[in-house]
Structure 1
C-alpha cells in the first residue's frame, strides 16, 4: 500500500458543535457568531508543549450535519472558514449521499465555501454495497475533489454512527489515491490501524473515537479528530503531544482522567451527550440542550453532568481542565 499524503501535518483536530439559538417563533436557527467564537476559543488553546489543534472540523457528526439543509451547511462552513483562515488551519467537513453522483456534487459545493478536506462517509443506502461499488463511490468523490482543488478523507465509522463498514482492502486502495490526504478510522477496534500501518509505515491515519487516542497512537495513527477536545482542549492537545513523543505513561494519565466523558464519544447519542457537556463547561446548559437531534431524558442529562464533573475534577488535578 502506498500513500500520497506525505504532507499531512495535523495532530488533533476538534469536531466543533453547531451552536443554535431560538427565533421569536421558538424555532431553532444556527448562531453563527457563537459557533465562530467557540471554534476560535478552542483553536487558541495550547498544550503543555505549546502546540495547538491542527485543523477545524465543521458540520460533521457533532456539527449536526445530517440535520442541516444544504443551505444551512454551506452558510455554517463559510463562517467557520473565516476562523480556519484566522488560525491558518485547514477546514474539514463531512459528506455522504445515496449515490456517487450526488456525493460528487456535494464535494464540489463544499469546496466553494472554503472546505479543504471532505470526510467522506460510506453511502447512505439500506444495503451495503459490494467492494467494487464502494470503491467507485469514493473514486468519483476523489475525481470531484481533484477538479475542485481539494482533498478527501475516507471515513470508516461502523460503530456509533452505524455506517457501512469499509473493508481493509478498500481502505488500502483508497489510501493510494492522490486525492486522499488521510484515512479516518472511527472504531474502538484499532487493529485495522495497526494492520494498515504494518503494510505501510507512511500511511496517514486519524483516530475518530476519544476513548482510543492512546491505543490508536500505539497502533500508528498520526493524530485524531476529537469531540471531547472541544470541551477540554488543553488536555486533548497535551495528550496528543505525549502520544507523538511516545510518552505513553503521561498520555495514559490524561486518557484515564477523561475516561468518564470520553465514553460518551462512542455512543449513538454522542452529539447530544457531548454538546450538553460543552454547554455545562461554558455555563450554558440550555444552549447545550438546543439540538436538532434527539432530546435527552432527565436520567441522561444527570448522567452526562456527573461524567463531566468527574472528568473536570481529574483534569484539574493534572492542571489540564482549561
Structure 2
C-alpha cells in the first residue's frame, strides 16, 4: 500500500439500489466499480489518485448505521488494496474513549488512515481537552496499526475549529500522517506551512484547490474529482509542478460544479452530477439524504453540462 500523500484523493459516493421491499440498500458492486474506475484514471502527466476516501460526507455517512458503514469500508478496502493506495475514512465522537473504539473498528475493516474530526459536543472543549481527544486517537492508532489525519473544518456548522497552535502540536505526533483543512480561507494553510514547511496538508474544498496549492497544500480530497478524475488529477499535476496558469484554467473549467462542493446539499448535488455523467440519473437520485426539487435537478444538470463542455475543450474528459 502506497502512502504517498502528495496528490488528490477522491471522496467516493455510496451507490444505492432498491431492495425487494422497495427500500434503498447499499449497492456494493457498483460502489466498488465506480471507485476503481476513478482510481485507475490517469492525468495527462500519467499520475493517478493517491488515496481513496470512503463513507465520508459524500458517501451518505450521516445516514448509515455502524454495521452498514463498516461493511461499506470493508468492500472499499478491496479496491484500495487492488489500486495500492491508502483507504481513508472519518471518525468523530463525543468522548475520547468513544473515539478510540471507533478507530479500532475502522482498523479491523481495512481503513489505513482515520480522519479525526473534532468532538461532537455542544460545549466548546478547552485546548487541553481537545489535545487529549486527539492524543488518545493517535495512541490507539499506533496500537492497531493505522495512522490519523486531524480534520479541521471551521466553515461547517457543528464542528469546533482547531487552532493553528493545536494543529501544529498534533502534526508532530508519530502517527499523524497529514492534516486535512476544509476552508475557503487558505491563509490557515499558509500560516501552518510558515511554521513547519515539512507539513503535509490536504485541502478539502474544491473551489480553492489552486489557492490551497499556492499556500502550500500538497494535495486535496475532492468530490468533483470523482466525476471528472482526469481533470482533477491533471490540475494537481500542474499545481505540483508550479504551473499555476495551466492549473487555474482547469479550476475555472470546473467552477460551475466546484461551487456545489461548498453547499449544504453537496452530497445530493454532486451524486446527481455523477449519475448524469454516467447516464444513470436514477442512480444519482437514489440517496438517503434530501430529495431534490426539479429546479435543483435542472440547476445541477446545467452546471454539469457547462463543466463538461469546458473540459472537453481542454481534452480532459476520461
Taking structure 2 as the reference length, the TM-score comes to 0.97
Matches for 1:155-174 after TM superposition, within 5 Å: 155-160=151-156, 162-174=158-170
In structure 1, which of residues 116, 125, 136 is the aligned counterpart of residue 112 of structure 2?
116
Native 8 Å contact 1:121 1:154 kept in 2: yes
**SS of aligned partner of 1:278:** helix
Partner of 1:53: 49
User: How far, CA to CA, are the matches of 1:178 and 1:156 in structure 2?
Assistant: 19
Higher alpha-carbon deviation: 119-128 or 175-184: 119-128
CA contact under 8 A between 2:120 and 2:158: conserved in structure 1?
Answer: no
Provide Cα deviations, 1:188-217, integer angstroms capped at 9, x if missing partner: 100010000011110110000011110000
Aligned partners of 1:299 and 1:164: how far apart in 2?
33
C-alpha distance in structure 1 between counterparts of 2:93 and 2:292, whole Å = 28
* 1:204 correspondence with 2:205: no
**SS of structure 2 residue aligned to 1:203:** coil
Task: Identify the residue that residue 310 of structure 1 maps to in structure 2.
Answer: 306
Partner Cα distance (1:144, 1:198) in 2:
30
- Kindly state the Cα deviation for residue 160 of structure 1 after the two structures are TM-superposed: 3.9
Aligned to 1:3: none
Tell me the residue number matched to 2:282.
286
Corresponding residue to 2:92 among 76, 86, 96: 96
For 1:147-166, what per-residue CA distance to the aligned partner results, in whole angstroms no more than 9, with x for missing partners? 10100001111224642211
Q: What CA distance in whole angstroms lies between the structure 2 residues aligned with 1:127 and 1:28?
A: 36
| Residue equivalent to 1:9 | 5
Count of residue correspondences? 316
| TM-score normalised by the chain length of structure 1 | 0.96
2:5–2:200 Cα contact (<8 Å) kept:
no
Shift of residue 127 of structure 1? Answer: 2.2
Equivalent position SS for 1:211: helix
Q: Contact (CA 8 Å) 1:108, 1:145: kept in 2 or not?
A: yes
Is the 1:197–1:220 contact (alpha carbons within 8 Å) kept by the matching residues of 2? yes
Match of 2:123 in 1: 127
Match of 1:266 in 2: 262
Q: Contact 1:111 / 1:148 at 8 angstroms: preserved in 2?
A: yes
Paired residue for 1:62? 58
- Return the alpha-carbon distance in structure 2 between the equivalents of residues 310 and 161 of structure 1: 30
Q: Secondary structure at the match of 1:155?
A: strand
| RMSD of aligned alpha carbons | 1.0
Structure 2 unaligned segments of length 5 or more: list them: none
Do the aligned residues in 2 keep the contact of 1:8 with 1:182 (CA within 8 Å)? no
Aligned to 2:70: 74
Q: Does 1:107 align with 2:103?
A: yes
Q: Distance in 2 between matches of 1:160 and 1:199?
A: 25
How much does 1:321 deviate? Answer: 2.0
For residue 8 of structure 1, report the CA deviation from its aligned partner.
4.4
